[in-house]
Chains A and B, each alone.
Chain A
Amino acid sequence: QQQVKQSPQSLIVQKGGISIINCAYENTAFDYFPWYQQFPGKGPALLIAIRPDVSEKKEGRFTISFNKSAKQFSLHIMDSQPGDSATYFCAAARGSTLGRLYFGRGTQLTVWP
């Protein structure tokens, strides 16, 4: 059973465009929602994270939007660049599970010039 559902599986965006990746969850006990970025041949690395007590968090060109009532959150990449081409994973965790993360299946983003 997939605890966090992520879409789309792949995304192609033109340079300068907006990339949007969506995730949904069922467990209302989740209290931490990170996004990880993974380049080919590397391990995932934390990109940005949000808690359910805020609806949006922005860091540079990356923004997480969070909708608690819909149990959905999304990653927006503004002014997408070829260097953003990577696989993006959303994840969720709850405080009682000692840091254990539940990952979505990933979105392969390609930004072409």
Chain B
Amino acid sequence: NAGVTQTPKFRILKIGQSMTLQCTQDMNHNYMYWYRQDPGMGLKLIYYSVGAGITDKGEVPNGYNVSRSTTEDFPLRLELAAPSQTSVYFCASSPTRTSGGRSTDTQYFGPGTRLTVL
């Protein structure tokens, strides 16, 4: 298994451009997540999905969009890129089961995409 893969690894965008960050997992996980990581700020959840066709906003969704047409893929779309979106973006997946209503599962992270908006 390749696990969670992300493309591209690096990208430089000009202000106002758009792009899609790709994320694919081959573990048949239902749950997928997009985070951004800024220095000293930890990981902030942008969007997440509990299955194909179902997505929901996280803490910092503004300026981003997602779709989940298949179990494997969870692309993140940036429209009208802004310097504030300069960050490292991580995709993650988990098989999340709740046992008696309790979270049980590990999130598996991809290697990240480093995005710079100039």
Question: Chain A interface (Cβ within 8 Å of chain B)?
Answer: 6, 9, 31-32, 34, 41-46, 49, 51, 89, 93-101, 103-106
Stretch at the interface among B14-22, B62-70, B71-79, B106-114: B106-114
The answer to whether A89 touches B45, judged by C-beta atoms less than 8 angstroms apart, is no
- Contact residues of B between 52 and 96, Cβ < 8 Å to A: 58, 90, 92, 94, 96
CB distance from B99 to the nearest CB of A (A): 8
Q: A43-B90, A106-B42 are in contact. Are A31 and B102 (CB under 8 A)?
A: yes
Q: Can you name 16 extra interface pairs (CB under 8 A) apart from A9-B40, A46-B106?
A: A31-B102, A32-B102, A34-B106, A41-B112, A43-B92, A43-B112, A44-B43, A44-B109, A46-B107, A95-B98, A98-B31, A99-B96, A99-B107, A100-B45, A105-B42, A106-B42
Chain B residues within 8 Å of A, Cβ to Cβ: 4, 31, 33, 40-45, 48, 50, 58, 90, 92, 94, 96, 98, 100-112
